[in-house]
C-alpha cells in the first residue's frame, strides 16, 4: 500500500512497467489539467478533484521505482530495461512539475478560503491544519520525485564513469604487458650475452693453459 491507502499497481515484467508508465504519464497530464481548472473554487474542491490523482500518481511511481530497482539488482539489464528507465526519468520530471503546480494552486485556494470571510476565518482550525499538512505532504512528494530523478542521473553518471575507468584500466594493462614483454626480451638477451662471455672466458683459459703447458713442460724436462 502506498501513501493514504492507495494500492500500488503490481508490476512483474517490463511490459507491465511500460503499461504502468503510460498510466503515470496520463495521471501527470490529468493533475496539471485539474489543478489549472477554473472549476476549483476552494481547497475542498482541490481535495475532491486533485488529491486523489496525486495519491494515485504517488502509488504508481513508487511501484515503478521499486520494480526498476529490483530488476537492476537481478542484473537482467537490457535495451528494454534501459528504455523503460529513461522513460521513467522523463515522466518523473513531468510529474514533479505537475506537483509543484498543484502545490501552488492549493496554497492559493487556502489563502482565498481564509480571506473569504472579510478577514474572519471561514475555516475551522482543524481544516487549516489539515490543509497545511496536505500541502507539506505534496511538497515532500515533489521533493521525493526530484530525489528519485537525481538518483537515476547519478546511477547513469556512475555507470558512464565506470565504463571509462574500465577502458583506462584495459589500456594500462596492455601497456604493462608490452613493457613486461620488452623486459623479458631484454633479460633473455642479457643472459645470452652472459653465456657467450662465459664461453669466451673458458676458451681463453684453455688457450692460456695450453700455452703455459707448452712452455713449462720443456723446461721441466730440460732440468731433469
Tabulate helix, strand, coil % of the chain (nearest 5).
85, 0, 15
- 115, 42 in Cβ contact below 8 A? no
| pLDDT class of 163 with cuts at 50, 70, 90 | low
117 bridge partner residues = 120
Go through 30-68 and write b for each residue having 16 or more CB atoms within 10 A of its CB, e for each that does not.
Answer: bbbebbeeeebeebeebeeebbebbbbbbbbbbbbbebb
Q: What is the Cα–Cα distance from 103 to 146, expressed in whole angstroms? A: 15
How many C-beta atoms surround the C-beta of residue 155 within 10 A? Answer: 13
d(CA 183, CA 65): 53
Q: What is the tens place of the pLDDT at every residue in 23-48? A: 999 999 999 999 999 998 888 899 99
CA atoms of 43 and 122, how far apart (whole Å): 12
> Could you give phi then psi for residue 9, rounded to 5 degrees?
-65, 150
Which cell numbers in the block locate residue 11? 508490476
Q: Which of 61, 69, 83, 47 is nearest to 9 (CA)?
A: 61
Q: Where are the alpha helices (DSSP H) in 36-124?
A: 43-49, 51-73, 79-115
Alpha carbons 4 and 74: distance in angstroms, whole number: 30
Q: How far apart are CA 121 and CA 129, in angstroms?
A: 13
pTM (2 decimals)?
0.53
Which one-letter DSSP state was computed for residue 3? G
Express each pLDDT in 36-80 by its tens digit: 999 988 888 999 999 999 999 999 999 999 988 887 776 655 678
Task: Determine the topology of domain 3-165 in CATH.
Answer: Methane Monooxygenase Hydroxylase; Chain G, domain 1 (1.20.58)
Give the domain ranges of the chain: 3-165
The pLDDT-based confidence of 119 (bands split at 50, 70, 90) is very low
Amino acid at each position: 500500500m502506498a501513501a493514504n491507502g492507495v494500492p500500488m499497481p503490481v508490476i512483474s515484467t517490463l511490459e507491465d512497467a511500460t503499461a504502468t508508465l503510460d498510466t503515470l504519464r496520463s495521471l501527470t497530464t490529468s493533475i496539471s489539467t485539474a489543478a489549472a481548472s477554473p472549476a476549483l473554487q476552494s481547497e475542498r474542491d482541490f481535495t475532491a478533484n486533485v488529491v486523489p490523482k496525486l495519491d494515485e500518481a504517488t502509488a504508481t511511481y513508487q511501484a515503478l521505482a521499486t520494480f526498476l530497482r529490483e530488476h537492476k539488482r537481478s542484473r537482467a539489464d537490457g535495451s528494454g530495461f534501459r528504455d523503460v528507465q529513461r522513460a521513467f526519468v522523463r515522466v518523473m520530471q513531468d510529474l514533479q512539475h505537475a506537483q509543484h503546480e498543484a502545490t501552488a494552486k492549493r496554497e492559493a485556494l487556502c489563502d482565498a478560503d481564509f480571506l473569504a470571510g472579510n478577514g474572519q476565518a471561514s475555516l475551522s482550525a482543524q481544516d487549516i491544519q489539515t490543509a497545511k499538512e496536505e500541502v507539506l505532504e505534496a511538497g515532500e512528494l515533489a521533493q521525493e520525485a526530484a530525489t528519485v530523478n537525481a538518483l537515476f542521473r547519478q546511477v547513469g553518471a556512475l555507470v558512464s564513469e565506470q565504463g571509462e575507468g574500465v577502458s583506462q584500466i584495459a589500456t594500462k594493462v596492455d601497456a604493462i604487458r608490452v613493457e613486461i614483454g620488452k623486459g623479458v626480451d631484454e633479460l633473455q638477451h642479457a643472459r645470452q650475452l652472459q653465456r657467450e662471455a662465459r664461453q669466451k672466458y673458458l676458451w681463453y683459459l684453455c688457450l692460456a693453459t695450453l700455452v703455459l703447458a707448452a712452455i713449462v713442460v720443456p723446461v721441466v724436462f730440460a732440468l731433469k
